[in-house]
Structure formats: structure tokens, C-alpha cells
Chain A
Amino acid sequence: MKKDHYILGIETSCDETAASVVKNGTEIVSSIVSSQIQQQKQFGGVVPEIASRLHVEQITLVIEEALREAEIVPKDLEAVAVTEGPGLVGALLIGVNAAKAFAFANQLPLIGVHHIAGHVYANQLMHPMEFPLLALIVSGGHTELVVMKSHGSFELIGETRDDAAGEAYDKVARVLGLPYPGGPQVDRLALESEQSIDFPRAWLEADSYDFSFSGLKSAVINYKHNIEQKGGQIDPQHVAAGFQQSVVDVLTVKTVKAAKQFDVKQVIAAGGVAANQGLRKSLTEALQKEGIPFYVPPIALCTDNAAMIAAAGYEMWKSGVRSDSTMNGRPGMPLKSWN
């Protein structure tokens, strides 16, 4: 009989304290996420120092809960995987130091995982990955197109030159006077809307897979400004729908083009903005037309969680990747291949 391999994942890169046990890299046995949204809301965004303080309060509770729910004791584990970066440095340090202490106390190997590799591997918890694949990573801090030829190999083919998609969502939400976090609110308004304002799309150079969203954000601000100067009032629904259409259009067209050029076996979406209903629908339809399988994890696996870190950690563990106790939180960690 084949032995099962359990990995403990820990994630504290932003405003979620999360821990999870994943079996054989593909099966979630437990996934605990303690969100700070309620506490951070009053500040209109994530305050780094508050995030760090709340992580210290939650960290051992969350890990304990993940182990209890999984009915796993530390000696059943193969390794501890933790988000090493990128993210808020003070927040990362809590997960990293808890992981180091846990690994030492239980004499387990330690693995530092790149947060975005985690988002990509969230898909492995739903469907086996088939290579080559194209990953569209869209979150609060990232907008990237990555080609993977095998496990642990990442080739960046395009990225945002200014704002990340989620950042643009959050900024536009603020312009529309919507509460934090704004992404889901804009998504909801856009879905309900029957009309939309026409905003520009930043295609950049013809052969580029890069993105730019700051012009779009400015266009929304200018539009609101112009209407209000004339004594009028904007319709937030129409603005949200127009903004969303512009973002979704660019993301979809570039993703489909790259999928064809790199002749990939599947396309996956990852990150917080992959929760966006408009984007999910548009990518599903466009890729269906091309006959390319498209997978996007359920919403709970799109936003920050530790199951994705454990899933990526499992592949790294299999490849022999290990960190040592000098691991630090790395706010600007680049996405590097391990294979």
C-alpha cells in the first residue's frame, strides 16, 4: 500500500491567518482561514501593523484547528510549508517564525513557498495539472501570465506595468464609494447592471502579453469628475460594468492569444480576482470556443488560503526543495522555478 503524505501549510502574507493539511498534494484534509476583514474594514484597507498584531493573536489557534480538524498529529506530517513571500513583511514574519518553531519542535523539514506558486497550485487541489499549461494570476498584488512546462517551472510571459488587477478593482471601488474590499462589490454591481459606460482598453504593443490598468483607473476618475462638474451624478452600476468589461476584455483576449501561441493543454486562473464572476464567465466561453480546457478553483481557493501553500509545498517537497531555519520573510520575493 502506498503511504499517504501530509503537508502542513501556513499562510500569513496579508490579512488572512491560515493553516491547512493537504494529503498527497491534491486532497484538502483541513483548511482554516481566519480573516481580518472585519477588523481592517474600519481603516478602509489593510494596515500592516494591525495585520501583524492580529496574526500573532491567531497563529497557534489556527494551526491547532487545522491539525485537529484533519485528525493529524505532527508526527504524521512530512513537512511544513509556509509562505516565504511576497507580501507584507511584518505579516510574513509571523507565519515564517511559527513554521520554523513548529518544524524545529517536531523535527520536520521546512519549505518556503512563493505565494503566487501557491495560488497556481490551488488548481492542483481540483484537477491534475497537465503541461504545458498557462496560468493567469490575478490578485491584489499581481497580474501575470505564466507558462509552466512541468511542475515547478515558471516562465513569466507577461505582467502588469503598473496597477495589479485587484488593486485597480479596489481603487475604482473607492472612487464609487464602496466599502473595502472593493473587488467583490464592483463585481456584484457590474453583474446587476444593464448598461455600461465605454472605457478604454490598454492593449499595449501588438506582441506584448503585459498589462496596464492605471489608465483605466484614471479614465473612471475623470469620467466621474466630468459628470459631477456638470452637476450630474454617475450611476455606479454603469461605471462598474464598464470598468469590469474593460478589465475582463483585456485579460481574456491576452490569455486566449497566449494559450494558442504556447499550444497549452490547459489554462488555469488563480488569485483573488479569479473569483470575479465576469472574468470566469468570459474566460470559460472564450476558451471553450478554442477547445482549450479551462479551470478555475472555487472562490474559497482563489482568495488567500493555506491549502494552496501546502499543495505547492508538496510538489517542492517531492522535488527535494528544503529551507533552513535562517529563512526570512521576503516581501519582494521573485517567482523562481524549482525544477
Chain B
Amino acid sequence: MIWLGIDTANSPLSVAIVKDGELLIEESSMMKVNHSLRAMPAVEEVCRKTSISPSEIDAIAVSEGPGSYTGVRIGVTIAKTLAWTLGKPLYGVSSLKSLAMNGQLYNGLLCPLFDARRSNVYSAIYRMAGEELVSVMEDQHCALAELLEQLKEMKEPILFIGEDVKLHEQSIREQLGEQAKFASFAVNVPRASSVISLAMRAEQADSVHSFTPQYRRITEAEVNLVKKEPTNE
């Protein structure tokens, strides 16, 4: 069984191939290069380096967001198109959950986080329960201050994960003090192998045609539209 995994949900890029439960290759880069330029070349490269032809791929796992709208769409479009035209199952995995996998050896709360500008973040809280990652707080778009308040009440050590954590490290430390834990940059790299490993545990595949990113946010145009419409009470 050959899995292809893709994560382009934020500026890092990661692609991986897992064969019969073993990671064959994984290529990750934190460089801020346009995904549209490098995502498909990266997919082609991991296939070439492992001598796997596209038709040999048995399943596709993709990071479904949240994250950069454009970034998520590039990965999802590639994954959808490959799954559909190859006739193979597609699995969408939360970008936050797969990032949280980087903390799977940590005994405490895991808080993966992506910056969403204007003091907002995409974030969630997970913890390990046995060998499974379980959700403590759902993936959401929220104000950082709100998130920190919730975390404070949990009165447990929390490991923050993600390359955007450094943007907010000061406010996190101010709010949470010793409760907040930070690790080396190595844990901040999103890994397509984690996307695959979570997809392998999914109960069923997603429907390919109707698969869409999990933006976790409606567009500004829709927000404005709701504002304009008279409310019927």
C-alpha cells in the first residue's frame, strides 16, 4: 500500500511517501516560496526518487487546513485531482492536528498554532491518550488573547508548536508564565508523514469531488453581506 502525503497549508511545504507502513521519503522546506511553483515539482520529485509511478499510488492524504487560504487550496486541488484521475481514495487531515503530532512524545497539552494576522490565530488543543491524539479544543480561528485565557484555566503545561509561535512568544509567556513550554525549531516543521499517519487511522475516505478545504473562517465579503442584511427577529 503506497500513500502520498501533501501539506501546503501554510508557508512550509512537505510531501512524503509511505509504503507498507514505512516512511520512504519525506521532503520538507520552511522556505517561503510560492507553493504553486514548487508543490507539484516536489510531488514529482518524491515519486521519481522512490521510482514510484503515479498509477502505483494507492491513497492520497492532504492537509485540509486551516491555514493560508491559497496554500491550502493548492494542496487540496492537487490532491483532489490526483485522487479523482487515479481513481484512488482521498483523506483530508487537519493541518493543526498533523502539526500536533510533532509533540506526540510530550506529556501534556499540545497547542499547534498558525498566525492569522491582526492578533488572531488558527489553533486547537490536543493531547496524547495512549497512542492516539485526541482533541481537547476544536480547530478554530480565534483571538490569541481568548485562546490564552482558555489555556490558563486548564492549569496544565502546554507545548506550543508551529513556526508562527515565535511571533507571539512574548504574549504567551506574559499570560501563561511557566505553564507555557517551547521546544526547538525542529518541532515546528509540518510533516506530510504525520498527515499520512493520521489518514491511515481514519475510518473512511472523503468524497473526492465534494472535498473542500477547512478554512475555519468565512470570507470578508460574506461577513459584510450578513452585516448589510436586515435581521428578522
Contact in complex: B209, A98 (CB < 8 Å): no
> In the complex, which of the residues B70, B74, B85, B209 contacts A61, with contact meaning CB atoms closer than 8 Å?
B209
Min CB distance B60 to A, Å, is: 10
Contact in complex: B81, A93 (CB < 8 Å): no
Contact in complex: B74, A93 (CB < 8 Å): yes
Give the residues from 114 to 128 in chain B that come closer than 8 angstroms, CB to CB, to chain A. Answer: none
Proximity bits, B213-229, A CB within 8 Å = 1, else 0: 10100011110010000
Contact in complex: A97, B77 (CB < 8 Å): yes
Chain A residue nearest to B83 (CB atoms) is: A60
Complex interface: chain A residues within 8 A of B73 (CB): 52-53, 56, 90, 93-94
Chain B residue nearest to A67 (CB atoms) is: B85
Complex interface: chain B residues within 8 A of A59 (CB): 77, 80-81
Alpha-carbon distance between A78 and B112 when the two chains are bound, in angstroms: 45
Say yes or no: is B51 at the interface (Cβ < 8 Å to chain A).
no
Min CB distance A100 to B, Å, is: 4
Proximity bits, B195-233, A CB within 8 Å = 1, else 0: 000000000000011101101000111100100000000
Min CB distance A59 to B, Å, is: 6
Interface residue total, chain A, C-beta cutoff 8 A: 32
Alpha-carbon distance between A271 and B78 when the two chains are bound, in angstroms: 29
Min CB distance A53 to B, Å, is: 7
Min CB distance B88 to A, Å, is: 10
The interface residues of chain B, by DSSP majority, are classed as: helix
Complex interface: chain A residues within 8 A of B29 (CB): none
| Known A-B contacts A56-B212, A102-B81; A49 and B36 likewise in contact (beta carbons under 8 Å) | no
Contact in complex: B54, A64 (CB < 8 Å): no
Min CB distance A294 to B, Å, is: 39
Stretch at the interface among A30-38, A104-112, A121-129, A253-261: A104-112
Complex interface: chain A residues within 8 A of B38 (CB): 326
Proximity bits, B59-73, A CB within 8 Å = 1, else 0: 000000000011001
Say yes or no: is A335 at the interface (Cβ < 8 Å to chain B).
no
Say yes or no: is B192 at the interface (Cβ < 8 Å to chain A).
no
Proximity bits, A293-337, B CB within 8 Å = 1, else 0: 000000000000000000000000000000001101100000000
Complex interface: chain A residues within 8 A of B215 (CB): 53
Say yes or no: is B43 at the interface (Cβ < 8 Å to chain A).
yes
Contact in complex: A64, B40 (CB < 8 Å): no
Say yes or no: is B99 at the interface (Cβ < 8 Å to chain A).
no
Min CB distance A109 to B, Å, is: 14
> In the complex, which of the residues B37, B55, B78 contacts A328, with contact meaning CB atoms closer than 8 Å?
B37
Contact in complex: B36, A53 (CB < 8 Å): no
Say yes or no: is B39 at the interface (Cβ < 8 Å to chain A).
yes
Contact in complex: B85, A101 (CB < 8 Å): yes
Complex interface: chain B residues within 8 A of A53 (CB): 73, 212-213, 215, 219
Min CB distance A144 to B, Å, is: 27
Contact in complex: A93, B36 (CB < 8 Å): yes
Say yes or no: is A132 at the interface (Cβ < 8 Å to chain B).
no
> In the complex, which of the residues B37, B69, B81, B222 contacts A105, with contact meaning CB atoms closer than 8 Å?
B81
Alpha-carbon distance between A319 and B179 when the two chains are bound, in angstroms: 65
The interface residues of chain A, by DSSP majority, are classed as: helix
Complex interface: chain A residues within 8 A of B36 (CB): 93, 96-97, 328-329
Say yes or no: is B84 at the interface (Cβ < 8 Å to chain A).
yes
Say yes or no: is B82 at the interface (Cβ < 8 Å to chain A).
yes
Contact in complex: A56, B76 (CB < 8 Å): yes
Say yes or no: is A57 at the interface (Cβ < 8 Å to chain B).
yes
Say yes or no: is B44 at the interface (Cβ < 8 Å to chain A).
yes
Alpha-carbon distance between A102 and B212 when the two chains are bound, in angstroms: 18
Alpha-carbon distance between A53 and B69 when the two chains are bound, in angstroms: 9
Min CB distance B95 to A, Å, is: 16
Say yes or no: is B41 at the interface (Cβ < 8 Å to chain A).
yes
Alpha-carbon distance between A74 and B219 when the two chains are bound, in angstroms: 36
Say yes or no: is A229 at the interface (Cβ < 8 Å to chain B).
no
Alpha-carbon distance between A57 and B163 when the two chains are bound, in angstroms: 29
> In the complex, which of the residues A47, A325, A326 contacts B221, with contact meaning CB atoms closer than 8 Å?
A47
| Known A-B contacts A97-B81, A101-B85, A102-B81; A57 and B210 likewise in contact (beta carbons under 8 Å) | yes
Say yes or no: is B171 at the interface (Cβ < 8 Å to chain A).
no
Give the residues from 37 to 64 in chain A that come closer than 8 angstroms, CB to CB, to chain B. Answer: 42-43, 47, 49-50, 52-53, 56-57, 59-61, 63-64
Say yes or no: is B34 at the interface (Cβ < 8 Å to chain A).
yes
Chain B residue nearest to A49 (CB atoms) is: B219
Contact in complex: B213, A49 (CB < 8 Å): no
Give the A-binding residues of B (Cβ under 8 A): 34, 36-41, 43-44, 54-55, 69-70, 73-74, 76-82, 84-86, 208-210, 212-213, 215, 219-222, 225
**Additional 4 contacts, C-beta under 8 A, given A53-B215, A101-B81:** A56-B213, A97-B36, A97-B40, A104-B40
Enumerate 29 A-B pairs (CB-CB under 8 Å) in ascending A order.
A43-B225, A47-B219, A49-B219, A50-B219, A50-B222, A53-B73, A53-B213, A56-B212, A57-B210, A59-B77, A60-B81, A60-B209, A63-B84, A64-B84, A90-B70, A93-B70, A93-B73, A97-B77, A97-B81, A98-B78, A98-B81, A100-B40, A104-B82, A105-B55, A105-B82, A106-B54, A106-B85, A326-B37, A329-B36
Q: In the A-B complex, list the 8 residue pairs whose CB atoms are closest, starting with the nearest.
A: A101-B81, A47-B221, A100-B40, A325-B40, A60-B84, A97-B77, A98-B81, A105-B54
